[in-house]
Structures are given as structure tokens and as C-alpha cells.
Amino acid sequence: MSDINYKAKSGKKCVFSQYDCFTGKIKNDIFSLPADYDWIYEQLITPDGKYLIISSRPFQVLVYDLTTLKLIKSTKVFSANPYVLKLQSNNSVSFLIDGTVYLWNFISGDLQETKLSSETVNDYCFSKDKKDVIYCQNKSEKIIQMNLATGK
């Protein structure tokens, strides 16, 4: 028995396909993004298998309901690519843009942003209690822990 996953083909048209993880062969195409979404940077599926979350060009994050294959939410269009998508729960995702971490509840639409650094940030994670964010700066290679409430 093989696992099934989703894979995006980027180029002229972004098509999400179901494929066999062991053979790498595409089983069937699921759906296509509109023509103006010409590139997929990252994609996640929620642990419950209900939502597909993608970071795409134009620079925004989109959420699709995998049962209906319909777009249910999208962020505003940002000035740069949202990257390092991370699930925080079955209905929230976080991502980075130019040294700022965003936490987005895609059910309520609430979008919180916290400026981490003027430097490029390579990666980040939240503390278990979600009160702090720990991140790594690109140039200085420093690892920093910052309280989200105080910014220090």
C-alpha cells in the first residue's frame, strides 16, 4: 500500500496532482490554480487533511478546502514572497516575509505580524506556550528568543 500526497507543478499553470509517494507517478490531477498564480513556493496540508495551504506568486497565502476543492481564504498580496510556512493548528499557519513573522488564523481571518529583525530570518519556531518566537538571523547567524507581547 502506498501513501498519497499532493504535488504542485509550476510553470505556465499550477496543477495539484495526487501521486504515489513510493513510485513518484501521478495518479490524477486534482485541480488547477487560476492563471495569474503562476508559481508555488510552499505547500502544506493540515493534519486533519481538510485544508491545503500554499504560498504563491503573486505574493500571498491561499487556503483551499480539499473536500470541495474551493478557495476559502487568501491573505492580502504582500510585497515579497511568504516563505517558511508552518502549521500552528488545524486552522492557523505562520510564515515569514522580510524578517517579519505572521500568524494567520485562516478561519477567523485574524492576521498578526511581529517584526523580528531587519536582517533576513532563516527559520523560526514558537515556544510551546506560544508566548515567544525563536529565530535565526541569516548574516549574523544569531539565534534569538523574543517575547511576542513585549517584543524583547
The predicted pLDDT at position 24 comes to 77
Number of other residues whose CB lies within 10 A of the CB of residue 141: 8
pLDDT digits (tens, 9 = 90+) for 68-94: 888 899 998 898 888 889 998 878 999
Please tell me what DSSP assigns to residue 110: -
Distance of alpha carbon 51 from alpha carbon 46, whole angstroms: 5
pTM of the model: 0.77
pLDDT digits (tens, 9 = 90+) for 25-58: 877 777 777 766 767 788 888 888 888 898 887 8
Cα–Cα distances (Å) from 147 to 33, 104, 129, 135, 139, in that order, read: 38, 18, 11, 11, 22
The predicted pLDDT at position 18 comes to 74
Residue 103 vs residue 1, higher pLDDT: 103
